[in-house]
Amino acid sequence: MTRVVVTGAAGAIGSRVVRRLAEADGVGEVLAVDRVGTPVAPDVESKRVDLAAGPLDSIFAGADAIVHLASAATPGVPDAAAEELDLAIARRVLDAAAEAGVHQVVVLSTAMVYGAWAANPVPLTEDAAVRPNPDFSWAVARADVERLAAEWGSRRPSSVVSILRPTAIVTDDDLGGLARVLHAARLGVAADGDPPVQYLHIDDLAAAVVTAVAGRLDGVANVAPDGWIPPDALHDLEGPKPRVRVPSWAARAVAAARWRFGVSPVTPGVVPYTSHSWVVANDRLRSMGWRAEYTNEEAWVVSHDPGPLDRMPARRRQELALVVAVLAVVGAAAGLVVLVRRLRRGSGVDSEV
């Protein structure tokens, strides 16, 4: 009989994982842990715990596996304080797991830890190097959490560390935080390059976590549907969108200006992930019996809530997209001028103007 503790259990992913684990063969008891302590499934015990400061010894006592899903950071959005808190929490969880003699720890990471580089193979396997783009701190922080978990496992040869690297996660009627940032970065003033993309439905991610627990996954596994969406197919799914292609440095400059003034969720560091491929292979997880219920295309469709633009005639949408693209270029140029002038004033260059 296996006792599994799930952190971040009240979240969208955690609640699904708890329900699936409660129904899984071989799992005798599930403990749902979260700061809010919300019940997430019938007949499942839940406890309200602050992982950053609360006592963990009694929570992890007798546990065979810990599924660590709790995170203070928002996927795809750099936040130094939240990322530091995630690292601190991961250390506390791992230390407490060691004291409790836990045999397996499951950690949720991201496929973004591979980085988006021009030389990336398509697809990336788990053997690829971990080298996230250095100025996208959210991906760097997930790689740091992976490193902590791997070091914990290396000191305990009898224990198992399972690291899952999902691609962009979506839910019904919602692209999700990371997918939404990537989508926004492809619109308006966008960098050259048109890589394939992948979308993972949140239910398939929950099933992957259960597979990792049940199969005692030892090491890393990518989580993504079979294949990917090529650029032309993605354009067909999205329909005409306002987009002007510029060199990567220009797209990063525009993103920096828009981020600085709070008009866009797109940070400069995410730009490479929209111009170079980082799609992944799922062979390792498939070999354990996992199968995605949603294809990449199906995941995109169910996550997409059609708006007024989608209901317009195709020609009208194209005309509107062109107008918006031109306005975006003009607005971005104006923003850059304002930013440069502010920086020059701050350095005293414009003191005589």
Query: Is residue 162 very low, low, confident or very high in pLDDT (cuts 50, 70, 90)?
Result: very high
Helix, strand and coil in the chain, % to nearest 5: 45, 15, 40
pTM of the model: 0.84
How far is Cα 292 from Cα 207, in angstroms, rounded to an integer?
Answer: 8
How far is Cα 241 from Cα 222, in angstroms, rounded to an integer?
Answer: 30
> Tokens 């530091």 correspond to what residue?
84
Report the candidate in 142, 51, 135, 137 with the shortest Cα–Cα distance to residue 88. Answer: 51
Where along the chain do its domains lie? 2-339
Residue 282 Cα to chain centre, angstroms: 16
Average pLDDT, stretch 54-70? Answer: 95
Instruction: Report the pLDDT value the prediction gives residue 253, as an integer from 0 to 100.
Output: 84
How far is Cα 221 from Cα 344, in angstroms, rounded to an integer?
Answer: 48
With a cut of 90, say whether residue 85 has pLDDT above it. Answer: yes
Average pLDDT, stretch 257-283? Answer: 87
43 φψ region: left (φ > 0), alpha (ψ -120 to 50), beta (else): left
Average pLDDT, stretch 187-209? Answer: 90
Give the Cβ contact number of residue 327 at 10 Å. Answer: 12
Measured at the CA of 104, the angle between CA 176 and CA 70, to 5 degrees, comes to 30
Lowest mean pLDDT among 190-204, 245-259, 266-280, 289-303: 245-259
Q: Tens digit of pLDDT for each residue in 233-251?
A: 988 887 776 677 788 888 8
How far is Cα 7 from Cα 283, in angstroms, rounded to an integer?
Answer: 27
Instruction: Report the pLDDT value the prediction gives residue 293, as an integer from 0 to 100.
Output: 97
**261 or 306, greater pLDDT:** 261
How far is Cα 13 from Cα 4, in angstroms, rounded to an integer?
Answer: 15
Average pLDDT, stretch 268-274? Answer: 90
Instruction: Report the pLDDT value the prediction gives residue 321, as an integer from 0 to 100.
Output: 44
Q: Which H/E stretch holds residue 32?
A: strand 27-34
Average pLDDT, stretch 74-78? Answer: 86
Lowest mean pLDDT among 58-67, 71-80, 252-261, 268-277: 252-261
How far is Cα 271 from Cα 286, in angstroms, rounded to an integer?
Answer: 31
Q: Tens digit of pLDDT for each residue in 280-302?
A: 999 999 999 999 999 999 999 99
Query: Is residue 38 very low, low, confident or very high in pLDDT (cuts 50, 70, 90)?
Result: confident
Report the candidate in 263, 244, 270 with the shortest Cα–Cα distance to residue 329. Answer: 244
Instruction: Report the pLDDT value the prediction gives residue 155, as an integer from 0 to 100.
Output: 94
Percent of the residues in the chain that have a pLDDT greater than 70, as a whole number: 85
Query: Is residue 331 very low, low, confident or very high in pLDDT (cuts 50, 70, 90)?
Result: low
Q: What integer best gives the mean pLDDT of the chain?
A: 86
* DSSP string over 39-93: --STT-EEEE--TTTS--HHHHTT-SEEEE---SSPTT---HHHHHHHHHHHHHH
8 A C-beta contact, residue 109 and residue 148: no
Average pLDDT, stretch 174-199? Answer: 85
Instruction: Report the pLDDT value the prediction gives residue 199, as an integer from 0 to 100.
Output: 97
8 A C-beta contact, residue 170 and residue 302: yes
Instruction: Report the pLDDT value the prediction gives residue 84, as an integer from 0 to 100.
Output: 97
Instruction: Report the pLDDT value the prediction gives residue 319, as an integer from 0 to 100.
Output: 46
With a cut of 70, say whether residue 158 has pLDDT above it. Answer: yes
Average pLDDT, stretch 182-201? Answer: 85
Per DSSP, what are the bridge partners of residue 280? Answer: 124
Average pLDDT, stretch 180-184? Answer: 86
- Classified as helix, coil or strand, 9 is coil
Phi and psi angles of residue 50, each rounded to the nearest 5 degrees, phi first: -90, 105
The full 3-state SS of 110-157, as one line of letters, equals CHHHHCCCCCCCCCECCCCCCCCCCCCHHHHHHHHHHHHHHHHHHCCC
Report the candidate in 36, 169, 153, 25 with the shortest Cα–Cα distance to residue 98. Answer: 153
- Classified as helix, coil or strand, 258 is helix
Domain 2-339 matching CATH 3.40.50.720: the answer reads yes
Query: Is residue 340 very low, low, confident or very high in pLDDT (cuts 50, 70, 90)?
Result: low
Instruction: Report the pLDDT value the prediction gives residue 349, as an integer from 0 to 100.
Output: 38
Q: Which H/E stretch holds residue 162?
A: strand 160-166
Query: Is residue 344 very low, low, confident or very high in pLDDT (cuts 50, 70, 90)?
Result: low
Q: Which of 35-49, 72-86, 254-268 has the highest mean pLDDT?
A: 72-86
How far is Cα 353 from Cα 334, in angstroms, rounded to an integer?
Answer: 19
